Chain A
Amino acid sequence: MHDMSIASQILGLKKREFSSVELTLHYLGRIKRLNPIFNALITVTEEQALESAKRADETLSGNIYNELCGIPVVHKDIFCTRGVKTSCGSKMLHNFVPPYDATVVENLSQAGTVMLGKANMDEFAMGSSNETSFYGPVKNPWDITRVPGGSSGGSAAAVAARMTPAATATDTGGSIRQPAALCGVTGLKPTYGLVSRWGMIAFASSLDQGGPIARTAEDCAILLNTMASYDHRDSTSLKFQEKDYRDEINRSISGCRIGIPREYFSNSLSPSVEATVFKALGVLTDLGAILVDVSLPNTKLSVPAYYVIAPAEASANLARFDGIRFGHRCENPQSLEDLYCRTRAEGFGEEVQRRILIGTYCLSAGYHDAYYKKAQQVRHLIKQDFTEAFSKVDVVASPTCPAPAFKFGEKSDDPVKMYLEDIYTIATNLAGLPGMSIPCGFVDRNPIGLQLIGNYLQEARILNIAHCMQKETDWHNSAPKEHS
């Protein structure tokens, strides 16, 4: 059952080949066996899952139900879940049980999905390797000596290890796409504003966007149908034309113009990754797509701009963790300042503290214009680069990451090296565009991801291209070897 896509599981449930309870028990069994190895989940909600599954089976016996009814999911621990601990991978929130659901969680539960648990992640979504989690690193199911990517490493690893057919995730600078690539699964970061941020613990509000990780593009389309919604509780939520993202998924991609940004195929890209990506692009050209050389001239500025804007917003977003109302509080504070200092020094890990300091510095009097304001100008230039590119092509394609998954500890001592991990994904967030990563081959048995970037609200288009490729290839069906 765990090798089935969501699309096939939906059919299986419909045809009564198995029940949601059976499906749920199957995955819970796998979680019990595999989570100690991969550490993909922080919390397993076994009891709740079985109750939801029972309810789903009742609903499924009727005539009207959402197609996702009875399908198990895992939520990244950044999404608030009513009555279930939501830690955001941090000691700061090790005791935090929200009294409300995130909109994404609400949408998926109303559809009848079954929450299996909460996925591990880099602390406050700050990291590209899942090594910053208070709950320990997630292991890459393809090679447990390697990182799963981050920050949604738990979501991607759980899907890759077949511990869940679907996971929610978030992407601020590549946090859906990079772990999806490194774990050999499919992940979609929608247009900024398509998925509500309500109840999603903020890292950098103007960049954060929730999205699905699953095995296939079709599954991502099914999940997006339910995850995307206009939400009056999120002022940056978009009022968009609702549609079924599967409608255009089989459309012919003949004549489709795929932009290849020359700046993305530079020295920093590993030659074997480049070769793998071009081989996959060959599949698309065989289907009639046309590769077009495009330029995104400000690409090299995207990482520096991102590491000003994201920490600046984070420095304010994380100010609420002060030990006063919720979360970690230091023992026996001697004064207000002592309470703040020790609570935050104890509650936040090293990377989070580093980013708060960077952000605070960038916003400080005398540096604000040189850093924050400049970065905003760069952000504008990057948007223009894409506007220019999309005047010539339908989508932009590139590798998701410059290299396959790296070993634990390889980059954790060098923040800048780690930050460059997101070099191909960050610009998409700065521009607010939709992007996805799909498996496109292996280098030394480590999965490689192909990134597809669409124009605003063109999720259907990139899902269509991804699906067409997945119909022709088998990379997305490859599974890491089973651990016992």
Chain B
Amino acid sequence: MRWDSVIGLEIHVQLSTVTKIFSGASTLFGAKPNSQACAIDLAMPGTLPVLNSKAVDNAIMLGLAINAEIPPISIFERKNYFYPDLPKGYQTTQLEWPIIGKGKVPIFLKDGTKKEIRIHHAHLEEDAGKSLHSGSFGSGLSGIDLNRAGTPLIEIVTEPDLSSATEAVIFAKKIHSLVTSLGICDGHMAEGSLRFDVNVSVRPNGSTALGTRTETKNLNSFKFMKEAIILEIDRQIEILEDGGTVIQETRLYNGETKTGYSMRSKEEANDYRYFPCPDLLPVKITKSHVQEIQKKLPELPDERSIRLVSEYGIGAFEADILSTSKELSNYFEIVAGKCKNPKQAANWTLGELMGRLNTANLPIMESPVAAEDLGVLVERVCDHTISGKIAKQVFEAMWKGEGTADVIIRDRNLKQLTDLKTLNELVTSVISDNPKMVNDFITSGPQHRKKKLGGLMGQIMRRSKGQADPKRTNDLLARKLCELTNEQED
């Protein structure tokens, strides 16, 4: 049987406000444990929360960016459960009246099709502290760090509109790009600034009824998210194909061992006893306040993407990736401006450059190759000074800091042979030095000739140290071989 997978995401976005959502303590990451927890964060008796209006404004910005309804009133509720890193014994969050209502986020798939992912809602809440089970506490002891307690979070909940791990990652990257473009989240996934819970179920291909879902919690990288989804889909299919049933449960994924395991089943789930928090007033948001924030909204990835397509004529898929961050699209625009060939600029930025950056785990701002310099390199490809293949060598050298494209091309004498007379001599000499290969070409059927021609091209390129203009050389060689074949047949 073939199976379809159905995926929904819950995304926790840590807001980069200076202070916590209900107290004046700092939210800075990496401080000494418990040095950024004030009396309110410690839930000392008699302390009270006061809502950080910056967190509300951040939520409104996100709401606008995901084309969502922003209801005039939202309410904070208490979600009750006991845990040592939850000082009050309840989390202040939103349930029935979230700050952001229904919305939608378009994503672009690799084949260029657009898919709209519906947002169920997004709500504001406080983060818990951290329990540390390993450390220098002595055996059997755990530590609690409440620095994170009270850090503002927005949780974005999607409808189950994603149908593969790849789609889920495209969507997750889109959200990452949105919140960082808005400047409401630093996007540092390794520090937990963006965390994903994935709800996964499978159903027979074509079926419309939803299968039993599981939730895998707390994935903090796109890679782990993808792996966890694929693993979970496979696990569920295997269970169902063996005639079993999937149990509704909360699961965890270990990115080190690449394994998933159950955390608790639905039966073990807490009764959180939600009720409106009497210490906080309902949050009122006026239309005029929303309009004010709308005016100050920066260029969003989607707007940027549409502009890149219309201004540069590149594909929607490429434009969408380039638009994920302002830094990346700025980089592209500089390359394109320099080389006057936006398509090549997009290819080089997304291909060679991003490939190297990803491998080196570097952000675009720290690229060893400056946009202007990459622009010159691409320009040299476009004006046939060097071939694409040579350009990759030049790029390698530029990456290592060995100079600009022009310097490297000059110093290493990499300039492409374009002169017809020289190329002609080169082709003729290779033909006369390789009679067997030429003969093979002539005697083989037309369907094999392309391969045979490739062999001779290889010889030519080797002899020219890769500097022969491939297109011109290829044309010359083809013409020459054609003539020889005709002579033979005559």
- Report whether A235 and B50 are in contact in the complex, using a CB–CB cutoff of 8 Å: yes
Check if A475 is an interface residue, CB within 8 A of chain B.
Answer: no
Question: With the chains together, A313 CA to B44 CA distance in Å?
Answer: 17
Interface string of B24-53 (1 = CB under 8 A from A): 000000000000000100111111111100
- Report whether B48 and A372 are in contact in the complex, using a CB–CB cutoff of 8 Å: no
Contact of A319 among B51, B89, B144, B279 (CB under 8 A): B89
Check if A383 is an interface residue, CB within 8 A of chain B.
Answer: no
Looking at the complex, which of B77-85, B170-178, B444-452, B457-465 is the stretch in contact with chain A? B77-85
Contact of B46 among A200, A204, A336 (CB under 8 A): A200
Check if B420 is an interface residue, CB within 8 A of chain A.
Answer: no
Task: Please report whether the interface of chain A is mostly helix, strand, loop or mixed according to DSSP.
Answer: loop
Question: With the chains together, A340 CA to B39 CA distance in Å?
Answer: 21
Looking at the complex, which of A10-18, A60-68, A358-366, A460-468 is the stretch in contact with chain B? A358-366
- Report whether A312 and B271 are in contact in the complex, using a CB–CB cutoff of 8 Å: no
Task: Please report whether the interface of chain B is mostly helix, strand, loop or mixed according to DSSP.
Answer: loop
Chain A residues lying within 8 Å of B43, measured Cβ to Cβ, are 320, 325
Size range of the interface on A?
A: 35 or more
Size of chain B's interface in residues, with CB distance under 8 A? 28
Question: With the chains together, A262 CA to B147 CA distance in Å?
Answer: 56
Chain A residues lying within 8 Å of B246, measured Cβ to Cβ, are none
- Report whether A372 and B275 are in contact in the complex, using a CB–CB cutoff of 8 Å: yes
Chain B residues lying within 8 Å of A100, measured Cβ to Cβ, are 39, 44, 46
Check if B399 is an interface residue, CB within 8 A of chain A.
Answer: no
Check if A201 is an interface residue, CB within 8 A of chain B.
Answer: yes
- Report whether A205 and B279 are in contact in the complex, using a CB–CB cutoff of 8 Å: yes
**CB proximity to A under 8 Å, residues B266-285:** 271, 273-275, 278-281
Check if B121 is an interface residue, CB within 8 A of chain A.
Answer: no
- Report whether A235 and B45 are in contact in the complex, using a CB–CB cutoff of 8 Å: no
**Chain A residue at minimum C-beta to C-beta distance from B40:** A233
Question: With the chains together, A198 CA to B46 CA distance in Å?
Answer: 6
- Report whether B45 and A236 are in contact in the complex, using a CB–CB cutoff of 8 Å: no
A320-B88 contact given A86-B45, A363-B80, A363-B273, CB 8 Å threshold: yes
Chain A residues lying within 8 Å of B80, measured Cβ to Cβ, are 315-316, 319, 363
- Report whether B280 and A235 are in contact in the complex, using a CB–CB cutoff of 8 Å: yes
Check if A324 is an interface residue, CB within 8 A of chain B.
Answer: yes
Interface string of B401-437 (1 = CB under 8 A from A): 0000000000000000000000000000000000000
Tell me how far the C-beta of A430 lies from the nearest C-beta in chain B, rounded to whole angstroms.
13
Looking at the complex, which of A91-99, A271-279, A391-399 is the stretch in contact with chain B? A91-99
Contact of A316 among B47, B49, B78 (CB under 8 A): B78
- Report whether B84 and A336 are in contact in the complex, using a CB–CB cutoff of 8 Å: yes
Check if A232 is an interface residue, CB within 8 A of chain B.
Answer: yes
**CB proximity to B under 8 Å, residues A195-244:** 197-202, 204-206, 232-236
- Report whether B275 and A312 are in contact in the complex, using a CB–CB cutoff of 8 Å: yes
Check if A368 is an interface residue, CB within 8 A of chain B.
Answer: yes
Chain B residues lying within 8 Å of A123, measured Cβ to Cβ, are none
Chain B residues lying within 8 Å of A234, measured Cβ to Cβ, are 48, 50
Chain A residues lying within 8 Å of B51, measured Cβ to Cβ, are 235
A198-B48 contact given A235-B281, A320-B43, A324-B144, CB 8 Å threshold: yes
- Report whether A235 and B84 are in contact in the complex, using a CB–CB cutoff of 8 Å: no
Tell me how far the C-beta of B49 lies from the nearest C-beta in chain A, rounded to whole angstroms.
7
Chain A residues lying within 8 Å of B49, measured Cβ to Cβ, are 235
- Report whether A324 and B279 are in contact in the complex, using a CB–CB cutoff of 8 Å: no
Can you spell out 22 A-B residue pairs with CB atoms less than 8 angstroms apart?
Answer: A80-B46, A99-B39, A99-B44, A102-B46, A200-B46, A201-B45, A202-B279, A232-B50, A235-B279, A235-B280, A315-B273, A316-B88, A318-B89, A319-B82, A319-B89, A319-B90, A322-B82, A324-B84, A325-B87, A326-B42, A326-B44, A363-B273
- 17 new A-B pairs (CB below 8 Å) besides A99-B44, A320-B88, A325-B44? A100-B39, A202-B45, A205-B278, A235-B50, A236-B279, A313-B278, A319-B80, A319-B88, A320-B45, A324-B144, A325-B42, A326-B42, A326-B44, A363-B80, A363-B274, A363-B275, A365-B273
B binding-site residues for A, Cβ under 8 Å: 39, 42-51, 78, 80, 82, 84, 87-90, 144, 271, 273-275, 278-281
Q: Which 4 pairs between the two chains have the least Cβ-Cβ distance?
A: A319-B89, A206-B278, A363-B273, A205-B278
